[in-house]
Amino acid sequence: MTTDRSKSRQTGPNTLLAHGPYDPRSMHGFVNPPVVHASTVLFESTDAMKNRKSLPYTYGLRGTPTTKALEDALSELENAHETILVPSGLAAISIPLLAFLGAGDHCLIVDSVYSPTRQFAHGTLRRMGVEIEYFDPHVGAGIADLMKPNTKVVFLEAPGSNTFEMMDVSAVCEAAHAGGAVTMLDNTWATPLYFRPIEHGVDLSIHALTKYPSGHSDVMMGSVSATKETAHRLRETQMQIGINAAPDDVYLVLRGLKTMGVRLERHQASALELAEWLEGRDGVGEVRHPALASFFDREALRAPVLRLLRPVLVPPSRQLFPRQRLPRRSGADRPRLFLGWPRKPRRRRRSYRSDDLQGTGGRHLHPPAGGARGRRRPQGRSRTGPRSGESADLRAGDRRRLASAHVMVRPHCSPR
């Protein structure tokens, strides 16, 4: 299951997605790779076990034929040297950052980054002693002025999450490499069908396979595709932390990958049609879609990336400047789309307290059909008088216990 890069550049994207580098002849002609569940691998001899680094499979954590099939397919799409798989898109962000950062290092992160990336940087990386600094997505070659002697990583995302700022990836990478830093880019928005970061100078291309490649909202997975210079350190960090993707999940992503090209074409057409419709609505101040003539950052567009993206709405009361992050919106000024008729609110049933049941001796936990007013009092007890033979102290204790208990017939469920 080797990858022929020259062949991949001559083959159309949908053919690559449908076939990939997997060779059916290696599995008796079956067109799909098998799902291999494995942990322990047996060696033919003790010498083979001692020299196992030269073998393709040595332990389930290090990979199986199933994970290798998806890794090779993604490496071919990204034009990368090697790809690793991890259990989520966020893990695909954290693993390379952990691989190339340590205490005392400086990390530059684009300000329009995916918010969980920011949380990981503020939490884990800062506890490790890493200095975090954010930069404007339009900085371009000017990022050289932000570089420090201890800058080890420059983390990019193009377009910016939810605000869609575009950036000059090649210029940023050139300046970062001149300063001795490794560059990483979250390529989840574009996918390698619309943008190949490694061909623009990025060292590590990050992807949340949860989204477009799997395509059916039933899998969580991430991938990191690396250049030859960064692949070994990335893989060793993955193994030292001890994570990989599960074989059944890998198979689902392999299956979804075959239709990703067709799905994204439909997604692109639908998103653009919706964006054009929303642009004419009175309650919408701005629609951020790169294919619109009104797109605020249109001059920065150089790649075919971003015809497929979903539109982002900006209400009239919160006009955004190009460099601002999209703020949280209150319910009053949030643009509203029809999401279906509201449910009819459920009537709340009455909650009966046990002090309503005083005088029952605790025998009636639920009121009779006639309600609280219609129930009968036990014989031998007046409305306020004691039951015959009861002491005053006992009656007072019973009342305190009854008053402190709250018997709920049915909890109230508010409509969503």
The parts of the chain modelled with pLDDT lower than 70 are 1-10, 19, 22, 28, 299-416
Q: Give the pair of three-digit tokens for residue 385.
A: 């008088």
Strands 82-86 and 131-135, how do they pair? unpaired
Which amino acid would we find at residue 284? V
306 near 189, Cβ under 8 Å? yes
Q: What pLDDT, on the 0 to 100 scale, is given for residue 282? A: 87
Residue with tokens 């001149």: 178
- DSSP letter for 188, please: T
pLDDT (tens digit, 9 = 90+) per residue, 89-100? 999 999 999 999
Which amino acid would we find at residue 37? H
Please, what is the end-to-end C-alpha distance for the chain in angstroms?
Answer: 50
99 near 224, Cβ under 8 Å? no
Is the CA virtual torsion 88, 196, 146, 232 positive or negative? positive
Q: Is 361 left (phi over 0), alpha (psi -120 to 50) or beta?
A: left
Average model confidence (pLDDT) for the chain? 77
- Packing angle between helix 89-100 and helix 228-241, nearest 10 degrees? 110
Segment holding 85, helix H or strand E: strand 82-86
220 near 250, Cβ under 8 Å? no
Segment holding 94, helix H or strand E: helix 89-100
Residue 57: partners with Cβ closer than 8 Å, 6 or more residues away: 38, 41, 63, 64, 65
Residue with tokens 């009175």: 282
Q: What pLDDT, on the 0 to 100 scale, is given for residue 300? A: 66
pLDDT (tens digit, 9 = 90+) per residue, 366-380? 445 555 454 555 555
d(CA 239, CA 216): 29
Task: Give pTM, 2 decimals.
Answer: 0.69
Neighbours of 106 (CB within 10 A): 19
d(CA 113, CA 161): 6
Q: Give the pair of three-digit tokens for residue 232.
A: 């070994």
What separation in angstroms does the CA of 109 have from each of 37, 114, 170, 180, 183?
A: 38, 10, 16, 16, 10
For 107, the 3-state DSSP assignment is strand
DSSP letters spanning 50-62: HTGGGSS-SBGGG
For 157, the 3-state DSSP assignment is strand
Instruction: Supply angle C-alpha 249, 209, 194, rounded to 5.
Output: 145
HSE of 117, CA atoms in CB hemisphere, 13 A: 30
324 near 341, Cβ under 8 Å? no
pLDDT (tens digit, 9 = 90+) per residue, 239-259? 999 999 999 999 999 999 989
Q: Which fold has domain 5-258?
A: Aspartate Aminotransferase; domain 2 (3.40.640)
Neighbours of 328 (CB within 10 A): 6
Domain with CATH 3.40.640.10 in the chain: 5-258
